[in-house]
Amino acid sequence: MAGAAHAADESPGTWIGGILTDDFAAAGTQGRGLFAVEAQGRYFDIGSGLNQYLLRSGVGYKLSGSLQAWVGYGRFRVRPGQGSPVDENRYFQQLNWSAGEYLGGELKVRARLLQRSVTNGDDVALVARLLLDYSRALNTANPTTLNLRLEPFYDLRDTDWGGKAGLTQNRIYAGLGWQLSQHYVLETGYMKQFLWRDDARNLSNHLLVIQLRAKP
């Protein structure tokens, strides 16, 4: 990981996705078992040919009213501007914690450990991700929320395909969420994704993020 500050390449992009979450309880009741299914397409600078696709699912368990434990698997595909697509397997374990109310909003924390293996490398990467998620209602009559997120990524080991261990990525997000109905929330906003790279210039992506959240 390039620890020193260097000039970075700038690139625009759009991430579009949807996520379904629910529990395993019978209709009209609440259970401790949870599940989630997510799909996402990531489209970068038009004409570059670089696109990414993600399918991810997980199961969780409510340890308490504020703490959840999750495990899951994701399939990630990168279509580079040149060359063949690269597929990646992502296994993860995570804890979700509702940390309480601050400044009129709610703070949530997610700690995720990720194991990554790719078709063009032999080593398995271990990545620690810490997400701080703050949301605050702006309008109660027609529910609208302000969402702020910060998520650094830290590689815990060197790999033959991902570079050296260290801080490799940071995401900063600001957006709005609209309660479309009892079961659907549409969220859109801006995310700056900064990537530190060992063998190339660092990369700063400026992203429009659109996500539909569903809960039956």
- The residue extents of the domains of the chain are 8-214
Confidence at residue 140, expressed as pLDDT on a 0 to 100 scale: 75
Confidence at residue 54, expressed as pLDDT on a 0 to 100 scale: 98
The DSSP element (H or E) to which 69 belongs, if any, is strand 67-79
Confidence at residue 208, expressed as pLDDT on a 0 to 100 scale: 98
- CB hemisphere CA count around 115 (13 angstroms): 9
- Greater confidence, 162 or 67? 67
- Greater confidence, 123 or 30? 123
Look up the pTM and report it.
Answer: 0.92
Confidence at residue 6, expressed as pLDDT on a 0 to 100 scale: 59
Domain 8-214: assigned CATH number = 2.40.160.40
Q: For tokens 């379904």, name the residue.
A: 20
Confidence at residue 190, expressed as pLDDT on a 0 to 100 scale: 98
Confidence at residue 94, expressed as pLDDT on a 0 to 100 scale: 98
- 159: DSSP letter: B
CA distance 105 to 206: 26
Residue 42, burial from CB neighbour count under 10 angstroms (0-12, 13-18, 19+): buried
Whether 98 contacts 116, CB under 8 Å? no
Stretch 136-144: mean pLDDT, rounded?
Answer: 86
Contacts 24+ apart (CB under 8 A), 176-185: 176/138, 176/144, 176/145, 176/146, 176/147, 177/135, 177/144, 177/145, 177/147, 177/213, 178/142, 178/143, 178/144, 179/142, 179/143, 179/144, 183/214, 183/215, 183/216, 184/212, 184/213, 184/214, 185/212, 185/213
Question: Tens of pLDDT along 174-208?
Answer: 999 999 999 999 999 999 999 999 888 999 999 99
- Greater confidence, 46 or 28? 46
3-state helix, strand, coil in the chain (%, to 5): 0, 70, 30
- Greater confidence, 152 or 31? 152
Average confidence score pLDDT of the chain: 92
Residue type, 121: G
Retrieve residue 112's tokens. 């995720």
